[in-house]
Amino acid sequence: MLSWWSPRGESWQRAGVRRLENKSDLKQTEVVTAFLRHAGRILLVQRSRRVGSYQGRWSAISGYLEDATPLLQARREIREETGLAGDEVHLVAQAEPIAIQAPELGRLWLVHPLLFDIDDPEHVRLDWENVEARWVEPDEIENYATVPKLAAVLQACLKMR
């Protein structure tokens, strides 16, 4: 079973980040998933063939949690993947991390969900990681071939409001 722990000692606790102990053979990998919203619609992006996993699937803006807090990493990914930065994106909610098993990839994803509002969707410019963008109603996400549990990750953010 999964339990909470802090592999980096007190620094993780001070940062308010919790990690899951993974007692299976799956490699635990932390990622951020940043949903962009405008006029009630959510931005979905279709992953290119050049990304490491889930090529062709629909997702939100995402990336590996590197050397930053989930919020800073999400802002970095948004800037890289859409060109939006600074006061163009407004944090609305940050939910607790969600563990998602992906045995087909040998991974246990620890997803840090965040929701941002943006002012002008015309400013979104995709980089190489995504090939298409669509603005959809939140309940339409389940009609798309998405990365695992994308609709549930969004719902975690929407419940935080």
**Residue spans per domain, the chain:** 25-160
Q: DSSP code of 80?
A: H
Asked whether residue 30 carries a pLDDT value surpassing 90, the answer given is yes
Q: Give CATH for domain 25-160.
A: 3.90.79.10
Q: What is the pLDDT of residues 62-106, one digit of tens each?
A: 999 988 899 999 999 999 999 999 999 999 999 999 999 999 999
Asked whether residue 152 carries a pLDDT value surpassing 90, the answer given is yes
Asked whether residue 132 carries a pLDDT value surpassing 50, the answer given is yes
Q: How far apart are CA 82 and CA 74, in angstroms?
A: 12
